[in-house]
Amino acid sequence: MLTKVKWNHFLDEMDRMYPDAHCELVHDNPFELTIATLLSAQCTDVLVNKVTKQLFQKYKTPQDYLNVPLEELQNDIRSIGLYRNKAKNIQLLCARLLNEYGGEVPATREELVTLPGVGRKTANVVLSVAFDIPALAVDTHVERVSKRLGLCRWKDSVLEVEEMIMKKTPMDRWSRAHHQIIFFGRYHCKAQNPGCGTCPLLDDCREGQKRLKKGLVKA
């Protein structure tokens, strides 16, 4: 397992590589971010942004989503995977926001995860990005990078990954590190053909060293 010092050295390198890393889901407020993050499950941010460009012009408030038949909302997000279930959850979420929270998105994880379609990852994204509350969401990129680098075990659950990263990372760095790890995984340490040959972390990377010994690393 990586030491805290080594892990934070890795984060320093990612900070140099991606100083402007940020949430790539386009939104103007916590409500839009919640909807966009819900839609992003098993879907790329690029596709979500294409859909929400039109969606957020049509639907401005929770009530707007409830003013249309479910079939109409499904059609509006049809190009996104699992669109039927996501449309249903959006309407259920909007109804709960109106009934329980005065139409506003709550700013605690405990309340956020009670919303239909909102799990821990989505809640952490909303807390961190919309409310600037320290949180660390683990998506496929964060999970892959933390395991390849040797911070976490391959068998660790998403929650165990989150807890380990938070344990080894200063709290005031959680949100920034989250975005930088995502950028590192999305644009450099890709699932297929990771950029090991040009990676500043190669000398200390568990997976990179394995690939190097197998002759899989290209400069």
Q: Let me know if 139 is a catalytic residue.
A: yes
What value does the CA radius of gyration of the chain take, rounded to a whole number of Å? 19
The residue written with tokens 């039109």 in the block is 54
SS3 194: coil
SS3 51: helix
The answer to whether the annotation marks 94 as part of a ligand binding site is: no
The answer to whether the annotation marks 189 as part of a ligand binding site is: yes
Instruction: Outline where the chain has alpha helix (H).
Output: 4-17, 30-39, 45-58, 62-66, 70-76, 83-100, 109-112, 120-125, 131, 140-148, 158-168, 174-187, 206-213
User: Which residue out of 20, 64, 76, 139 is catalytically annotated?
Assistant: 139
Question: Using CA atoms, how far apart are residues 106 and 100, in angstroms rounded to an integer?
Answer: 10
Q: Let me know if 121 is a catalytic residue.
A: yes
The answer to whether the annotation marks 196 as part of a ligand binding site is: yes
User: Which residue out of 4, 45, 88, 121 is catalytically annotated?
Assistant: 121
In the numeric block, which tokens belong to residue 18?
Answer: 């991606």
Question: Using CA atoms, how far apart are residues 154 and 206, in angstroms rounded to an integer?
Answer: 12
The answer to whether the annotation marks 43 as part of a ligand binding site is: no
What residues are labeled active site?
Answer: 121, 139
Instruction: List binding-site positions for [4Fe-4S] cluster.
Output: 189, 196, 199, 205
Known binding site: residues?
189, 196, 199, 205
